[in-house]
Amino acid sequence: MTAPFNMPDEFVRGFFKSGQTLLQAYTGAAGETGVQPAAAPKMPALALAQAQAHYWQQQMALYMGMMASATGQAAEPAVQPERGDRRFSADTWRDNPWYSLLKQTYLLNSKLINDMVEAAGVGAKEKHKLRFYARQFIDAMSPANFAATNPEAMKTAVETHGESMRAGFANLLEDLKRGRISITDEKAFEVGRNVAVSKGSVVFENDLFQLIQYSPLTDKVAERPLVIVPPCINKFYILDLQPENSFVRFACEQGNTVFLVSWRNPDASLGHITWDDYVEQGALKALEVGRAVSGADKVNAVGWCVGGTILSSALAVLRARGDDTVASLTLLTTMLDFSDPGDLGVFIDEQGVSQREQSIGKGGIYAGSELGFVFQTLRANDLIWPYVVNNYLKGGAPQAFDLLYWNADGTNLPGPMYAWYLRNMYLENNLCKAGRLTMCGTPVDLSRIDMPSYIFGTQEDHIVPWKGAYRSTQLVGGETQFVLGASGHIAGVINPASKNKRSYWTDGKLDDDAEAWLASATSQPGSWWTHWSTWLQSHAGKQVAAPKKLGNAKFKPIEPAPGRYVAKHPPEVMGA
């Protein structure tokens, strides 16, 4: 552990390196080696002067406004929080002169830092890192995050005679033991009791995963079953949280026989598992068992996020082997071309990947808590600082929320698989290059995936930028449909048809220009689930009687859903 709350080495190193980059751009100071580069990037003098001038102009407006307020005159704030910024929603931040000054000074300083980052004369990749780490610093330094400068925390402490401070310190100690910030009431949920409650049975298991077959909810079902491969970096039950927002239940209600992969949360005993194992013993095995149990000629396959990357790799291997037993492919917020990985890209460079290869690349475990922290930093003002304020400064307890319970239920990754994935996907972007990678003894070419495909992205995705998801349409073969949903990586996918919220876009012109596709697409109200279900019907085969029993003679039910693997919480094992 490098810091409290399992802060990964990549984050710590990137933070300090970006600070050094900004200092170097500003002063021309020497780099990491202590040697002044011959052509150190310089901050354009005009841009810096403009940023400073604007800053002092706004500072003067702020002080003039404060003086006017002191004499009873009305004054407009020099700067306002951005729309949707909930950190300063309390009236005290507006009505109390001291807190109003503190808030506006912070906002002005934040803008100056951002302006300095934008003016820095560095390349696009370094600029992206500067923006990300500057945002982390700015978010962390908010006066709302400190007890002495948070009016609500101070008020609560006075009203409770200091009890809130004692409770907050106790909460902090508990979270330090856990190695992560509590973001929901974890006692309010239990897998199999009030989340992951769809009826079914585990019909197959190996060391890597269990395959769940869900009970039918209609008298007749489609001949071809649905096999779902979720990400291995989270538990599967995001697709089966509760009945009203369960994608699994919806698919069953639409007359599908649903099989779902439940990845095992690896401990040290699985520290040798590779990417090829996830492809061969994971996705390919799940497809095989699903088809065997259903007795169908083909199956329909769905993959989400890295589960979609694993599934696509498996299908490329299948087609290279001459196997055409998958009728259609659905990819949900999945990257196959990693040229634009969004904010996750700031953690990836040769030094960091090499360190992971040396420490866990030949065996070991990458702790899920580290990966969880990385994802939280992508939305720190939603997933970190509100809970610091509520739990530690105010001594409160987080509310019960099923999605955040799932979010906190992280999984480890085998070191060899993780290190290979980092290098070949994020660092070198090899998957989208035909024949560059060999998996399971077979050269991989995504264009061989020639079955019909439904590719779904979400407009505000901070993990798989939607244009990256869109690029998959240019990589896979066969007839392709792209659909863009509103919202983000999770909420955009888990958008129940019964609630009919948000919207999605369809039927744009498919070519290599994502923006042109969006400009020509049609906006549709409600959930994309119904649109996908209609598309799937044309690939699902004829209607047959729903099975009266789950499994078959070869693959008999082992235990009820959701199975042992999803409920197991092995200890965190550090690979380094």
pLDDT in tens, the chain (576 residues): 334 456 667 777 776 677 777 666 666 554 444 434 434 445 566 677 777 777 777 778 777 777 776 666 666 787 889 888 999 999 999 989 899 999 999 999 999 999 989 888 888 888 999 999 999 999 999 999 999 999 999 999 999 999 999 999 999 999 998 888 999 998 899 999 999 999 999 999 999 999 999 999 999 999 999 999 999 999 999 999 999 999 999 999 999 999 999 999 999 999 999 999 999 999 999 999 999 999 999 999 999 999 999 999 999 999 999 999 999 999 999 999 999 999 999 999 999 999 999 999 999 999 988 888 888 898 999 999 999 999 999 999 999 999 899 988 989 999 999 999 999 999 999 999 999 999 999 999 999 999 999 999 999 999 999 999 999 999 999 999 999 999 999 999 999 998 888 999 999 999 999 999 999 999 999 999 999 999 999 999 999 999 999 999 999 999 999 999 998 554 443 333
Helix axes 151-159, 163-178, angle to 10 degrees: 120
Neighbours of 293 (CB within 10 A): 24
Core vs surface per residue 147-184: b (16+ CB within 10 A) or e: bebbbbbbebbeeeeeebbebbeebbeebeeebbbbbb
Determine whether 418 is exposed, middle or buried from the number of CB atoms within 10 Å of its CB (0-12, 13-18, 19+): buried
Neighbours of 271 (CB within 10 A): 21
What's the confidence (pLDDT) of residue 173?
94
What's the confidence (pLDDT) of residue 545?
97
259: nearest Cα among 313, 305, 205, 208: 205
Q: Contacts from 38-45 at CB under 8 Å and sequence distance 24+?
A: 41/120, 41/121, 41/122, 42/121, 43/116, 43/119, 43/120, 43/121, 44/119, 44/121
What's the confidence (pLDDT) of residue 314?
98
Residue 228's SS3 state is strand
Measure the CA–CA gap between 338 and 309, rounded to whole angstroms.
Answer: 11
- The secondary structure of 461-506 as a DSSP string is -SSS-HHHHHGGGGTS-S-EEEEEESS-TTTTT---TTTT-SEEEE
Measure the CA–CA gap between 336 and 443, rounded to whole angstroms.
Answer: 16
Quickly tell me which residue has 């899920």 as its tokens.
Answer: 368
CB 412 within 8 A of CB 368: yes
473: nearest Cα among 436, 506, 522: 506
Dihedral through CA 54, CA 60, CA 62, CA 63, nearest 10? 160
What's the confidence (pLDDT) of residue 55?
77
Measure the CA–CA gap between 250 and 240, rounded to whole angstroms.
Answer: 9
CB 254 within 8 A of CB 496: no
Q: DSSP label at 318?
A: H
Q: What are the structural domain ranges in the chain? A: 9-143, 200-567
574: nearest Cα among 470, 453, 418, 464: 418
Please tell me the pTM assigned to this model: 0.90
388 beta partners: none
Task: Indicate the helix (H) or strand (E) that contains 416.
Answer: helix 415-421
- Residue 440, Ramachandran bin (φ over 0: left; ψ between -120 and 50: alpha; else beta): left
CB 43 within 8 A of CB 25: yes
The correct answer on CATH 3.40.50.1820 for the domain covering 200-567 is yes
Measure the CA–CA gap between 233 and 210, rounded to whole angstroms.
Answer: 15
Beta strand 299-304 with 226-229: parallel, antiparallel or unpaired?
parallel
Dihedral through CA 127, CA 128, CA 134, CA 137, nearest 10? -150
Quickly tell me which residue has 């196997």 as its tokens.
Answer: 323
Positions marked catalytic: 305
Residue 191 amino acid letter:
V
What's the confidence (pLDDT) of residue 28?
59
Measure the CA–CA gap between 571 and 266, rounded to whole angstroms.
Answer: 10
Helix axes 9-27, 124-140, angle to 10 degrees: 110
The gap between the terminal CA atoms of the chain, to the nearest Å, is: 9
Task: Indicate the helix (H) or strand (E) that contains 284.
Answer: none
192 Cβ contact partners less than 8 Å away, ≥ 6 residues apart: 561, 562, 567
What's the confidence (pLDDT) of residue 25?
65
Dihedral through CA 454, CA 458, CA 459, CA 461, nearest 10? -140
